Amino acid sequence: MKMTTATVRHIEHMELPPRISEFRRFLRVFLSRKVVIFGSIIILALLLIAIFAPLIAPHNPTQQNLWETLQESSGKHLFGTDHLGRDVLSRIIYGSRISLAVGIVSVGIAGCFGMFLGLLAGYFGGIVDTVIMRCIDALLAIPPLVLALAIGAALGGGLGSVMISLGIALLPTYARLIRGQVLSVKQTDYIMAARVVGCSDLRIIMMHVFPNCLPPIIVLVTLNLGFAILAEAGLSFLGLGIAPPAAAWGAMVNDGYKYLLTNPILSFAPGLCIFLVVLAFNLVGDGLRDALDPRLRGTI
């Protein structure tokens, strides 16, 4: 034992800025880019609008007024009125409830179940992989909108069935993407190290495999949101989604296109909202990916 005490031991120090808490570091990186702050503000604002719609909306969104159809933008009706004389602004405000819900829930369903299946297939391989992936292949063979239509028809109409059918239609992409990620992460030394340490499969999947598969998923989620909102319009148009008097952005774009030349604001206003949602989620997704990337630590 004498030797160990005699040996000059060097504790290595690193000259780096003092450490802050994990959450504050995350926030600092996340909010370090202006566009990310911009995106976050848009999402936050839209969520608030959706929640407090009855308080904000100047008119009843379903109240028809056939004396005031297809009006231009004015002080009374900021975005004008539609062919039934309903106030477009109020309809957009109420529509945000359905559109955001459909977008977020259906992508959420696709993401959760897709990633779950992909993780199982990729991690365990063999027969589990074959069974799951052949089912996924079968789903992929049908175009997503047609698939959603079929599932929606089977489930019957209504908001819930639209969300579920869109979720299932989007699911295969997630499963495939994450399975590929898992296959490459599984080969790394740190997964083997976790096995040597004695981690259970569940722990390895949750602690080591999943976090390292996440970045491409974040990108896919932000891209899919817009698709889900528009697809809801398609389904509603075919009578599977929301019943006519209720407002949803996709349906409003659809209704308004007949008056595109005379009254373009009918389509443009809800279209702009969809654009803003997709853009905002994209920006936030970028920020999220950077904030979670350990390689960018210390540089931002």
Partner 1 sequence: MVQMLEVRNLRTQFKVDNGIVQAVDGVSYHIDHGEIVGIVGESGCGKSVTQLSLLQLISSPPGKIMGGEALFEGVDLLKFKSDSEQMRKIRGGNIGIIFQEPMTSLNPVLTIGQQIVESVMLHLKMDSAAARKHAVEQLKLVGITDAEQRIDNYPHQFSGGMRQRAMIAMAMACRPKLLIADEPTTALDVTTQAQILELLKDTVKHFDTSLLIVTHNLGVVARYAQRIYVMYAGRVVESGTSNDIFANPRHPYTIGLLKAVPRLDEPKGHKLVPINGLPPSLINRPPMCAFLLRCSYRTEKCYQEPWPELKVVDGQHCVSCYVDLPAKKLGSGGNVTILQLMNTAGMKDPSAELSDIVASTVSQKDQLTNSTYQSSEEILLEAKNLKMYFSGTKGFFKHEAAQIKAVDDVSFKVRKGETLGLVGESGCGKTTVARCILQLYSPTGGGIHFEGRNILGQPKRGLRNMRRRVQLIFQDPYSSLDPRQTAGSIIGEPLKVHKMVASKQEYSHRVAELFEMVGLDPSMEDRVPHEFSGGQRQRIGIARALATNPSLIVCDEPISALDVSIQAQIINLLEELQEKLGLTYLFIAHDLSVVRHISDRVAVMYLGRIVEITDWKSLYENPLHPYTKALLSAVPIPDPFVEEKRERIILRGEVPSLLNRPTGCCFHPRCSEAIEDCSSIVPTLKNVGGGHEVACIKM
CB of 188 to partner 1, least distance (A): 5
CB of 23 to partner 1, least distance (A): 12
Residues 253 and 84: their CA atoms lie apart, in Å, by 15
| E strand or H helix at 175 | helix 159-186
Q: Which stretch binds partner 1 (CB under 8 A): 94-102, 229-237, 239-247, 292-300?
A: 292-300
Judged by CB under 8 A, the chain residues 108 through 147 that form the site for partner 1 are none
Which letter does DSSP use for residue 276 in this model?
H
**With binding defined as CB under 8 A, does residue 12 bind partner 1?**
yes
**With binding defined as CB under 8 A, does residue 28 bind partner 1?**
no
Terminal CA-to-CA distance of the chain, rounded, Å?
45
CB of 180 to partner 1, least distance (A): 18
Residues 156 and 231: their CA atoms lie apart, in Å, by 17
Candidates 6, 66, 154, 261: give the one binding partner 1 (CB under 8 A). Answer: 6
Q: Which stretch binds partner 1 (CB under 8 A): 135-143, 149-157, 174-182, 290-298?
A: 290-298
* Burial of 182 (C-beta count, 10 Å sphere; 0-12/13-18/19+): buried
Judged by CB under 8 A, the chain residues 47 through 76 that form the site for partner 1 are none
The number of residues making up the chain comes to: 300
* Type of residue numbered 69: T
Nearer to partner 1, 9 or 34 (CB): 9
Candidates 66, 67, 202, 299: give the one binding partner 1 (CB under 8 A). Answer: 299
Q: Extract the tokens encoding 84.
A: 């039934």
CB of 296 to partner 1, least distance (A): 9
Q: How many CB atoms lie within 10 A of CB 282?
A: 18
In the shown chain, the binding pattern of residues 182 to 221 toward partner 1, with x for contact by CB under 8 A and - for none, equals: ------xxx-xxxxxxxxx--x---xx--xx---------
CB of 11 to partner 1, least distance (A): 5
CA atoms within 13 A on the CB side of 106: 31
Identify whether the C-beta of residue 160 lies closer than 8 Å to the C-beta of residue 239: no
Number of residues located near partner 1, criterion CB under 8 A? 39
Identify whether the C-beta of residue 283 lies closer than 8 Å to the C-beta of residue 30: no
Q: Which stretch binds partner 1 (CB under 8 A): 13-21, 91-99, 112-120, 168-176?
A: 13-21
HEC profile of 183-247: HHHHCCHHHHHHHHHCCCHHHHHHHHHHHHHHHHHHHHHHHHHHHHHHHHHHHHHCCCCCCCCCC
**With binding defined as CB under 8 A, does residue 13 bind partner 1?**
yes
Candidates 19, 23, 134, 156: give the one binding partner 1 (CB under 8 A). Answer: 19
Candidates 17, 75, 126, 298: give the one binding partner 1 (CB under 8 A). Answer: 298
Nearer to partner 1, 66 or 196 (CB): 196
Residues that bind partner 1 (CB under 8 A): 1-4, 6-14, 16, 19, 22, 188-190, 192-200, 203, 207-208, 211-212, 292, 294-295, 297-299
